[in-house]
Amino acid sequence: MRLSLFNLTWIAVSVVSSLTISFSSVRAETDVYVDNNCRQVSDSVLQSLSEPPWFQYQNVFYGRKFTANNENYWLYAARTGDGSVQFCISQPNFVNPQVINADEISYQFIESINQAGDNNPTFTVRVREGQNTNSPFIDYRLNLSNPNQPIVT
């Protein structure tokens, strides 16, 4: 069976189109946004906006479960409009969210966040000291053993 150039082109366009549509619909379903108080923004609110949500809300790009005082919590980080990061803690499903206010990591440019182990309340946060590619890094330890009083060293 010989395929003409037209048929090959049509097949290629169809495959690329279906991949693009699938990717964009999956991405839209998995994006989570929070407000300045770490509260999750509902899909209905996002859909009613006349401008993209990143102007008004932060996109959550990192989230990990941890255990402290025999209770489950989430640490999540959301990127703000200028690229800096807001850190948040809540109980599962965004219950009782709170902003982590720590000058060393809050609203800084974050290179990486790593949890010390599954469910461990200790995280390493690598802060980039500026927006340039050659900016130095500083590693901080975020201890959430007491979620109401985060400790950054």
Q: What is the DSSP string of 43-110?
A: HHHHHH-SS-GGGTSEEEEEEEEEEETTEEEEEEEEE-TTS-EEEEEEEGGGEEEEE---TTTTTBEE
pLDDT at 45: 84
pLDDT at 56: 76
pLDDT at 54: 57
Give residue 71's identity as a one-letter amino acid code: E
Tokens in use for 149?
């009083």
The reported pTM is: 0.75
Residues 6 or more apart whose Cβ sits within 8 Å of residue 36:
58, 86, 99
pLDDT per position in the chain (153 positions), as tens? 454 544 434 434 343 333 333 333 233 457 899 999 999 998 888 778 777 665 678 899 999 999 999 999 999 999 988 889 999 999 999 999 999 999 999 999 999 999 999 999 999 999 998 777 788 999 999 999 999 999 999
Q: What angle do CA 113, 138, 104 make, to 5 degrees?
A: 80
